[in-house]
Amino acid sequence: MSDVIVLNLFQFGAVYLLLLIVLGIMKKCKINQSKLLVIGSIRMTVQLVLAGFVLTYLFKNPHPVFVIIYLILMIGMAIHTVLSRNKGINSKFSVIVAVSLSATGLLVIAFFILGVVGVSFFNPQYTIPISGMIIGNAMTGVSLGLKTFNESIKTQKMKIDTLINIGATPKSILIPFVNKALETALLPTLNSMVGMGVISLPGMMTGQILSGTLPTTAILYQIAIMIAITVVTCLAVFCSLFFGYRTLYNSQNQMLI
């Protein structure tokens, strides 16, 4: 296979011209998010460039402490992002979300790195990028699940009050909301699995192929990481909602919402 083509600054900068299409459509459709698009693209560029320098240093100077710090920052930012998008939940619920996301993520990451790949957990070349994919997708799933759960409760507040008044238990009322939110959170991941390989070639697989890895090896990695992502997303959302909804009522079965 031929060596990967390294993009120069001119080639790299040319891709930003494509954003003009998005800006044009936004202006035509009167979507007032042009500022967000510009800021988002700038932040993405700066953050990824900085991450590139940091990862280059870590790969050249591997040390367990660096990997641990990177994982803590990664998980911390993921938790902050989820909670900032769902400010309506109480403090106990927030703690449950944080523990669920970090515990399930680290558990599956450790299994994947140690059991599937078979390298040291503190190998930054494998642990950091794989953790990023797993935690990033879990973050999106948990955020979507919480958003669906909270919005469903708000829109069904009158129905919930009626059911409480006729003697229904909080558990019997809230479990259907939990199940629906879990289903909604899993759908994007499941849809990605259905179309993967035919409709789309995932980013990890594409990156490996471009770097010179054999397609067969890239495929095996992609299948494995996709299964890991699905498991973590399911576990993180399930634990967050299943244990979190119990903070919405007290021991006397009185609703706290």
pLDDT tens per residue, range 109-156: 999 999 999 999 999 988 998 999 999 999 999 999 999 999 999 998
- Reading the block at residue 256, the tokens are 């706290």
Residue 169 CA to residue 251 CA, distance in Å, equals 11
Rounded-to-integer distance, Cα 46 and Cα 40, Å? 10
DSSP lists the bridge partners of residue 196 as 200
Q: What is the pLDDT of residue 161?
A: 84
- pLDDT tens for 68-84 read 999 999 999 999 999 99
Q: What is the pLDDT of residue 10?
A: 82
Distance CA 63, CA 123 (A): 8
pLDDT of residue 195: 76
Report the pLDDT value the prediction gives residue 77, as an integer from 0 to 100: 94
Contact 101, 139 (CB under 8 A): yes
The closest of 228, 150, 151 to 189, measured between CA atoms, is 228
- What is the pLDDT tens value at each position of the chain, 257 positions in all? 556 667 777 887 888 889 999 999 988 888 888 889 899 999 989 988 898 888 889 888 889 999 999 999 999 999 999 999 998 889 999 999 999 999 999 999 999 999 999 999 999 988 998 999 999 999 999 999 999 999 999 998 888 888 888 888 888 999 999 999 999 999 998 888 887 766 666 666 666 666 666 777 778 888 888 899 999 999 999 999 999 999 988 877 777 77
- Please give the pLDDT value at position 211: 63
Pure H helices in the chain? 9-14, 19-28, 34-60, 64-85, 91-110, 124-155, 157-165, 170-195, 203-210, 215-244
- Report if pTM > 0.95: no
Longest dimension (CA), the chain: 71
What's the pLDDT at 13?
A: 84
Distances in whole angstroms, Cα of residue 124 to Cα of each of 38, 101, 128, 217: 32, 21, 5, 20
